Amino acid sequence: MKPPIVKHIRAIPNYPKAGITFRDITPLLANGEAFQQTITHLAERYADDGITKVVGIEARGFIFATALAYALGIGFVPLRKPGKLPGKTNKKSYQLEYGEDALEMHVDALSATDKVVIIDDLLATGGTVLAGVELIKQAKADLHECAFIITLDDLPGVQRLNDAAIPYYTLCEF
């Protein structure tokens, strides 16, 4: 059963601009019991799946991904914005509503023997996570699932993941 975290997610209307309702996870993070339940639930979900690495998307995805990796006793791999990782990286660009961004991952972070789960705080349009999926494919690692704390149902992320046949899991939907 999913943990009852919805009450710990604050809605902030008209942020960052008019017409947008921002889903704020900071109350969830500030509540030790709710945060622990979230990580425990995810750890139980993936405990018997042979996951070897947890991949987290910058920045809020890092919070959940590192805690999950710790709970599972496995490694964490960061997906970062361009220029933030030292050493050689692979890069995947993606479209934003107004422009373009990219994610990078160290070329040696994953291998064909890795089975991974990607964690991010929010699924909205799906562009960021799809870029992450491409980086995992470049590394020839096995993507088990993408997991999100929140999914925004009125945006195309779910449809884009379904269209690409990418398995995903979410703790709560708005």
Tokens read off for 20: 């947008």
Active-site choice (10, 45, 58, 97): 97
Q: Rounded CA gap, 23 and 101, in Å?
A: 21
Decide: helix, strand or coil at residue 141: coil
Q: Rounded CA gap, 78 and 98, in Å?
A: 25
Active-site choice (58, 60, 134, 145): 60
Decide: helix, strand or coil at residue 136: helix
List the one residue out of 132, 77, 71 whose CA is nearest residue 110. 77
Radius of gyration of the chain (CA): 16
Let me know if 60 is a catalytic residue. Answer: yes
Q: Rounded CA gap, 42 and 64, in Å?
A: 9
Pairing of strands 21-24, 10-13: antiparallel
Q: Rounded CA gap, 145 and 42, in Å?
A: 12
Residues labelled as active-site residues: 60, 97
